[in-house]
Every structure is written in structure tokens, then in C-alpha cells.
Amino acid sequence: MKVSFSNYALGAGVATSLVNTAPEVRRSTGEALRSPGDLARFLDEHGLSPGPLKSAARPTGDDLRQVHALRGEIRDIMDTHAEDHAVDAANGVLARAGSRPVLLRNAEDGPWQWHVVTSQQASLAEELAVLTGAGMLGVIHTLSHSRFRACTSSTCEGMFIDTSRAGRRRYCTPDVCGNRLNVANHRARRRAGA
């Protein structure tokens, strides 16, 4: 797999989505990655299978366990207030899968861009680590560490990386946590003391 540092939004988006599949994020939905099939669907929804991740063709139970562990690591990085510590940890994640820096261009006459390339033997979780690690570091480098934030919904423990131009995103999953009906229902339930 090769990951471009310029396209940090892809890895940051996958990091955000992955963190928000965890059971502690939304009690109403619980664990979103219960089986290898759930993981396959997650990768497919993010255009990673059968796309850039060769290892993603058919996830196994081992892959799922390793991705759950990686998910916890990514959450810890996003939740780290000290910028230097977040960068140290993300550098560690990026160094997996025998990754090395390579200067490549995507088209014959396109601009040269820095990529990180993983070894052929890399596991699914290692490739995801490199993709999300490059995304997180790209955001800190190009935007700011302040783009790692907690969801502002009072019913959600999610986190997200804001790669929008304006940087005013408030919710981890805007369709769910920022849904006006959900917000209004929650306020009504609180008023009713439920």
C-alpha cells in the first residue's frame, strides 16, 4: 500500500470513523465492528477494499482483534492533549508494516509527492495503522493539533479529526450527532427528567 502525505483527509477520515465504531461511543448502537464481515463492510464503505489495502480482501478474526486494538491506540492519540506526545505516538503507529518514505507521482507528468509505502507482508491492521498514522500527522503538519476534538453531542462519547477548510466541525458523525431531531428529542427528554 502507498499513502500520500498530501491526502491526509483520507487517513484522518478513516481514523475518525474507526474510533467511532467503539462500543463506548454510542450506547444505543454499541460495538459496530462485531465480526470480520462488519470490518469488511467498514473497509468497503471507505473505499479501502478491494482498493488500496491489499490485505483487506477477506478480513479474519485475527484481523478484527488487531483492528480493535489499533482503534484504542488511535483514540488515545486523538485524546492526547500534549501535542508532542500525540506526534510521538502517531510516529510510532506510522512506523509499522515495514513502511518507508518514497517520492512518487500519481500521473506520468504529475507533481512529485511524498508517500509512505508498506511491505508486501503487512497485515490489515498494520496497513490501517500506516494509513491513519499518516493522516493524523498530515493534519498536525498542515492544519493543527487543535483539529483533534471530542464530539459536542451530549449523548455521544465520540471523537473526530476536523479536516474541513473552516475547521468548525462539531460532531463526530454529523448525520447522527448533529441531527436536529435527535438533539431536540434529547433536550425534551432531559426537560422531562428522563
Which stretches of the chain bind Zn ion, using CB under 5 A? 151, 153, 156, 158, 171-172, 177
Nearer to Zn ion, 119 or 154 (CB): 154
State the alpha helices, DSSP H only, in the chain.
Answer: 8-19, 36-45, 61-78, 83-94, 124-142, 174-177, 180-191
Which amino acid does the sequence have at 40? A
Minimum distance from residue 153 beta carbon to Zn ion (Å): 5
Minimum distance from residue 116 beta carbon to Zn ion (Å): 29
Cell triple for 18: 474507526
Nearer to Zn ion, 67 or 156 (CB): 156
Nearer to Zn ion, 61 or 174 (CB): 174
Residue 101, phi-psi category: left (phi > 0), alpha (psi -120 to 50), beta (remainder)? beta
Minimum distance from residue 31 beta carbon to Zn ion (Å): 16
Helix 124-142 crosses helix 83-94 at what angle (to 10 degrees)? 140
Residues 15, 148 contacting (CB under 8 angstroms): no
Residues 160, 151 contacting (CB under 8 angstroms): yes
Nearer to Zn ion, 49 or 153 (CB): 153
Minimum distance from residue 18 beta carbon to Zn ion (Å): 14
